[in-house]
Structure 1
């Protein structure tokens, strides 16, 4: 199936509503920067690159709304909007990198009207660069998967988390295009169940796969059913530490204990080369993501939300930090990086 996850047309941001998948394919249309920011908060769009690109389009919407203001007021409003987008999801560095890039370009404008034109062009450039980067990740990484392999993946790292192709799933797709025969084991990824999105994407590509409980990963590794673990990243630090979906660290430790390569795939926009401790925040989301679950009622043909627990004593961190010592390779669009990691040095001439 050919589709893009997010795009802008006539001032409206279009995105695949990921809260409805896999039972309903619906395009969510946001007509203002406020609606776009809310869609990011509600995870109608998710994935580090995807939310950064949605925020870039949101800045275009803001520039369109405020273009008639005097320059001083215009820039005050734009700074407020930029901060609003930065606050939507605090952990993913693509969001910060793309918003800062947009604002830096826009500030070169001599008027609000010129700023709008610059914003339009830059947001489209960011989206195209991401699509091309993800394609290159797939092409560079495809030979890591061999005929007969069992590939374990976590969360959703496909086109739904980017503009197109994806990151770890891009590698899986391009290995599939080589007519290799392999099996994908995809964790369901509690509590938000991103495995349902991975299932949907791999089904579109006719790639053999099975959804497994998060806790079953060690069982399949011990059986010899996993030859490589492929994950994405929301933020990669210069020393190779990776911040990604909760449960990634657990899989990395299990892979290390079972001598299985643990590979991270991400565009260079996900690398935070100049991290500040105060900027690295592990997002904690609504506890209802754990105490409640959404599913499809086959009798009523409707999506329903059910409560699973009586208690509200719940913690819901949605990212963890995987130390570099557990990571075998980092696949970017520029090169495949191997330890020891010094990403500033390893990428400086790329």
Structure 2
């Protein structure tokens, strides 16, 4: 049985509605640190076996949680668990900074970037481009029903980056006004498909029809080592409006053929051969 302090963190992760796979993975690593502070020896080993099952089930679509659960060894040595979890957090931070540096080079002067949902990796790309003195603006969807796009709008406002928020239904007509598409990812499968907030696939199609380069930004821990696109479980969340139950699949699948490249800390990968 996991300690109450650890279960509380896992429940917090399950309840999160705005922040995505990167935040969840780091918060999950913090749960391992908390576990190592409470247990040791055989009790710690048993708890780690339970965590290996519990952590990925927070959101089965997200590769980051699957990879985190396998990054931490099953051991009774609390210091080893703490060190590995802290290493994961450090590597995640370094990866995001490098993605920001690499991705910002794709943004030319007077670029019009279109994006969907809230991605901390994309935010870092935009932040770095602004820091480099580049002039650009962003078109972003409100990303209903969670409205993650509005959280991104708040971040861009604080950075001084000009932006325009559109309804999700305007993805098609707005893509033609962009010059570059950048989105995050929750899972990149072995066959090069990208799972991200539902609505990403329609954006990719609109960009394809309008010859807009479509890039994905994701830390390497979002690459799933085993699953192909048709094997990933798409998480749904209950949603009702005005008394009607509305189907609410949180993610969709964008095939590799619509993706120009995947920006990682190791460089820009071309799917699926470089995945």
What SS class does the counterpart of residue 196 from structure 2 fall into?
strand
2:112 aligned with 1:141, yes or no?
no
Cα contact 2:14–2:58 (8 A) shared by 1:
yes
Q: In the superposition, relative to structure 1, how do residues 278 and 32 fare at CA in structure 2: closer, same or farther (>3 Å)?
A: farther
Structure-1 residue corresponding to 2:214: 262
1:120 aligns with 2:82: yes
* 1:153 positional shift: 0.8
Instruction: Let me know the Cα RMSD of the aligned residues.
Output: 2.0
Correspondence 1:219 to 2:173: yes
The 1:218/1:279 distance shift into structure 2, 3 A limit, reads closer
Matched with 1:234 is 186
| Offset, 1:44 | 6.0
Cα deviation 1:230-263 (Å, max 9, x = unaligned): 0011111233211111010010001001110010
Q: Specify the structure having the higher radius of gyration (Cα).
A: 1
User: Match for 2:227 among 266, 271, 275?
Assistant: 275
Contact kept in structure 2, 1:52 and 1:94, CA below 8 Å: yes
Question: Where does structure 1 lack aligned partners over 5 or more consecutive residues?
Answer: 1-30, 159-166, 292-307, 345-350
| Alignment CA distance shift 1:44-1:232 (3 Å) | closer
Pairing of 1:12-27 with structure 2 (within 5 A)? none
When residues 64 and 218 of structure 1 are mapped into structure 2, their CA distance, relative to the original with a 3 A threshold, is: same
1:73-222 correspondence to structure 2 within 5 Å: 73-102=43-72, 104=73, 106-107=74-75, 112=76, 115-158=77-120, 167-222=121-176
Q: CA deviation at 1:75?
A: 2.2
**Structure in which a larger fraction of residues adopt helix:** 2
Query: Counterparts of 2:266 and 2:129 in 1: how far apart (Å)?
Result: 18
Ranges in structure 2 where 5+ consecutive residues have no aligned partner: none
* More contact order relative to length (CA 8 Å, sep ≥ 6): 2
State the 1:280 CA deviation. Answer: 1.5
Q: Deviations over 1:264-297 (max 9, x none)?
A: 011111111322679611001122xxx3xxxxxx
Give the corresponding residue for 1:310. Answer: 243
**TM-score after normalising by structure 1:** 0.73
Distance in 2 between residues matched to 1:55 and 1:267, nearest whole Å = 16
Residues 1:32 and 2:5 aligned together = yes
Question: 2: CA distance between counterparts of 1:157 and 1:276?
Answer: 22
Q: Is the 8 A contact 1:63 1:78 kept in 2?
A: no
| Structure 1 residues 330 and 74: alpha-carbon distance in aligned structure 2, compared to 1, 3 A threshold | closer
* Distance in 1 (alpha carbons) for counterparts of 2:26 and 2:83: 13
Aligned equivalents of 2:259, 2:231: Cα separation in 1: 23
Deviation for aligned residue 1:123: 1.4
Structure 1 residues 145 and 277, CA gap change in structure 2 (3 angstroms)? closer
State whether structure 2 residue 258 is matched by structure 1 residue 342. no
Judge conservation of contact 1:238–1:342 (CA < 8 Å) in 2.
no
For residues 198 and 260 of structure 1, what CA distance do their matches in structure 2 show? 22
Q: 1: CA distance between counterparts of 2:36 and 2:123?
A: 34
Contact (CA 8 Å) 1:45, 1:51: kept in 2 or not?
Answer: no
Please state how far the C-alpha of 1:45 moved relative to its aligned partner. Answer: 6.9
The verdict on how the C-alpha distance between 1:84 and 1:53 changes in structure 2, with shifts beyond 3 A counting, is same
Given the alignment of the two structures, is residue 332 of structure 1 paired with residue 264 of structure 2, yes or no? yes
Alignment correspondent of 1:49: 22
Q: TM-score, normalised by structure 2?
A: 0.92
